[in-house]
A and B are shown apart, each in its own frame.
Chain A
């Protein structure tokens, strides 16, 4: 009896040990953080907000991804065996999927293990063009893959797509091989296949959940969605079917403290290491900040601007936080803020010298220093070109004086082209004598946008130009910018993929009415853009980007704003942290020292 009892206890101990290798003796490894905006859902082909996409990064896996540590960013294979070389002059890309990759378990699979196959890639790409999905990222595959536009047209006509229909450009060669044929050369296409939206989903899951796919994400990623209280709580847990990763330290920068710490914490370990991730959408800045400093959260993504002085007085981490071992990761985000001139507008638009002079004078009048100091609280860098740091094609040496704050030059330019005060009312008129009044539209729901609008009015007044700021609801502003019902308006763009093309397409003529809000149509620019798409990365393409930059500065369809800087905070028990410029989350590379956290709590 005694022996049996001993045996039973030993078995129980073994079972417990086997059940919780990652938990150790101090409990599960949990990472807790807040999102500053609520998520929409987790159907990767139907979402576009960065928070929903950020969660999907952990649930699904694209063919390719980015190396965690490499800067500038570097594409690496994820579910594909290798990063393919462009074929047929950059019009064909062939992928072989690693065999044995499993989807997370789901009732839709009827108790069977479900392996990722090439048909899943084909199905997922087709989903972007399914009119029922109204995919916000449909543009990624518009006029891109051979035969896919016809598939979309037929789907639209029939009201539903025939997913079994063959698309010439999506060639499934065998169980694990898919070859994608493009309509024209695109050397950035691989970046699209690394986007967290462009991920395989299983057809049987999508069909099983019908309208509820936002709530039933089933992917091959390292985590599964364990709990979701919409707009309140998102809980991820490790996917037991996941094969595991290993950190590749080859691209780590030994001079970078975050790289060194990540390599030290993660080298040789099977990732992911955390058992559970808890995400709380908190829109207000104070509770988000207090939840971190109260140690209810382990990470603070993007320190709220209202608290930047408390966190980084004089640019250094506050002593109270430093004493607790908190570290700050300063991210120069791959994004740009800018003001758009409507180039089709009768007053600020046009390509004639006097029209260009007016826009350039307004750009010179704008006090960007005040924007950075007051509105951005010092957490921004003045943009020198439309391309942010970290983007392929960005030239750190490139400097321009055409975006400087220089009211004297602005006034001289206006005087030269006949924008003078003819009636003595203190405001300049147009060269033909008509009144000169410019309206600046901004999002009524944002305090910083209101401040920016006030700064514009003040800056324009300083050179004698009458400007009025018009507060508009966000939705109306989007529409006005799409249809060209504005003179000037604020805007911003964050990189979808790390190449200059993603930013320069914002001024490509044929994109007018879509992403080209300025409605800028310059043949020289469009010609250069088309050439750049057909050229692989290298000095030749960079030269084209440089020339396009020059044209933007010369014709001034934009007033370049800033590249914002975000400060991300972590407690010392979070190991392996490094913010990636393109991917939003990094949970699979994190580790948590549970004992250290418990000790700190005491």
Chain B
């Protein structure tokens, strides 16, 4: 297993190099000149050239790329071009609010989706199954933005169950006062597609020969479903959660903007709008690393879930 992990980590290097090159060339080709924005209302070419010099974007491309590579390996992406704040500080201060929302969303949504999926898969073809599938299809066809706008208006303003928006310095206050509404809305949106997907995983397992054999041997249904079906369906579920996991750290831009949550998602979109390359670079590289590490962890967890899996 150690050799497998080392081999996988070694493979991350070319992937990371690809990410670095992709971000670098995309930014330089389509990213726009940040000096145009930073120059203010009135500026002459000399001032714009001075800003480009301050930012280092007047350097040859190979040199800028070399600086980028150095930043990746020193984990020092410098300062934001638009606010002059240290990029590391931006990431550290914004990741907390994002995780406050997204971790509960991931946990609750996964648990609910698995529970409902196994239930409806068990009663496949029944009225309950069909009704839930219709609800899921309808829920999936509505835009996330509609959920947010309607939910904020209904639960925040009309019913007054939650504040319309806001965030505080207290973790518990955020978790108990400001986070519940965005978490609830994110679960509304995410639950339907997850439920449908996991249902299909369970149905595939229920139709396997080993399930029929277990039933023929007289195993109780509860044991068949919870021990055999659930365990075997966990592999694709883990894969799906693994794909979703890195986005937990990026957050939901819409939620963060509508509920005034000072998270990473909002920061990333602002950085893109302002051509704030240091922030874009840092977030993209960290996200790429995170995705690779999570994929590795998921692969390792396959072994724990299914002993037949071997590392080669």
Chain A contacts to B: CB under 8 angstroms: 38, 40-41, 46, 48, 131-132, 134-139, 142, 156, 211-212, 214-215, 229-233, 280-284, 286-287, 290-291, 293-294, 296, 445, 473-476, 478-479, 482, 493, 496, 511, 513-515
Chain B nearest Cβ from A318, distance in angstroms = 15
* Complex CA distance for A556 and B54, rounded to whole angstroms: 38
Residues 124-168 of chain B, each 1 if its beta carbon lies under 8 Å from chain A, else 0 = 000000000000000000000000010011001100100111110
What are 14 residue pairs bridging A and B, where the CB atoms are less than 8 Å apart in the complex?
Answer: A131-B54, A134-B47, A134-B50, A134-B51, A211-B79, A230-B85, A232-B260, A233-B167, A233-B262, A287-B152, A287-B164, A287-B258, A296-B166, A515-B42
Q: A230-B262, A232-B167 are in contact. List 8 more A-B contacts (CB 8 A).
A: A41-B85, A137-B40, A211-B84, A230-B90, A230-B93, A233-B262, A280-B166, A286-B153
Task: Judge whether A482 and B164 touch: CB under 8 Å.
Answer: no
Q: In the complex the two chains form, is A290's CB within 8 Å of B157's CB?
A: yes
B84: chain A residues within 8 A (beta carbon): 41, 46, 211-212, 214
Whole-angstrom distance between the alpha carbons of A473 and B274 in the complex?
11
Interchain pairs with CB closer than 8 A, number? 128
B167-A139 in contact (CB<8A): no
Given the contacts A231-B267, A513-B45, A284 and B257 also touching, CB distance less than 8 Å: yes
Report the bound CA distance from A41 to B79 in whole Å.
13
Given contact pairs A231-B266, A280-B260, A290 touches B152 in the complex (Cβ within 8 A):
yes
Question: Do A293 and B157 touch (CB < 8 A)?
Answer: yes
Chain B residues whose CB sits within 8 angstroms of the CB of A280 once the complex forms: 165-166, 260
**Chain B residues, CB < 8 A from A139:** 40, 42-44, 47
- Compute how far the CA of A514 lies from the CA of B262 in the bound complex, rounded to whole angstroms: 35
Which B-chain residue is minimally distant from A137 (CB atoms)?
B40
Give every chain B residue within 8 A of A445 (Cβ-Cβ): 273
B291 contacts the other chain (CB 8 A): no
- Considering only residues 184-232 of chain B, those with a C-beta below 8 Å from chain A are none
B305 to chain A, nearest CB (A): 40
Closest chain A residue to B168, Cβ basis: A233
Task: Flag the segment in B28-36, B62-70, B105-113 that touches A.
Answer: B28-36
Q: How far is the CB of B170 from chain A (nearest CB, A)?
A: 12
Interface residues of B (CB under 8 A from A): 32-34, 36-45, 47-48, 50-51, 54, 79, 82-85, 90, 93, 149, 152-153, 156-157, 160, 163-167, 169, 257-262, 266-267, 270, 273, 275
Chain B neighbourhood of A296, CB < 8 A: 163-166
CB pair B32 A475 closer than 8 Å: yes
Bound-state CA distance A405–B228 (Å) is 76
> Given the interface contacts A48-B40, A139-B42, A513-B45, does A229 sit within 8 Å of B262 by beta carbon?
yes
- Nearest first, the 9 A-B pairs at minimum CB distance are A136-B40, A475-B32, A232-B262, A48-B40, A287-B165, A478-B36, A290-B164, A139-B42, A515-B42
B36 close to A482 (CB less than 8 A): yes
Chain B residues within 8 Å of A286, by CB: 149, 152-153, 258
A475 near B166 (CB under 8 angstroms)? no
CB-based contact A38/B270 at 8 Å: yes
Known A134-B47, A134-B50, A231-B266; judge A478-B37 contact (CB<8 A): yes
Task: Please indicate the chain A residues that have their CB under 8 angstroms from the CB of B79 in the complex.
Answer: 211
* Chain B residue at minimum C-beta to C-beta distance from A46: B84
Name the residue of chain B whose CB is nearest to the CB of A156: B50
Assuming A445-B273, A514-B43, is B50 touching A284 (CB within 8 A)? Answer: no
From B82, B149, B164, contact of A291 by CB (8 A) = B164
Decide if B47 touches A41 in the complex (CB within 8 Å).
Answer: no
Q: B45 and A479: CB pair below 8 A?
A: no
Instruction: Collect the chain B residues with CB atoms within 8 Å of residue A136's CB.
Output: 38-41, 43
Query: Which residues from chain B contact A282 at a C-beta distance below 8 Å?
Result: 165, 260
- Complex Cα spacing A211 to B164, Å: 36
Nearest B residue to A475, CB-CB: B32
CB-based contact B166/A514 at 8 Å: no
User: Is A479 a contact partner of B36 (Cβ separation < 8 A)?
Assistant: yes
Residue on B nearest A483 in the bound complex, by CB = B45
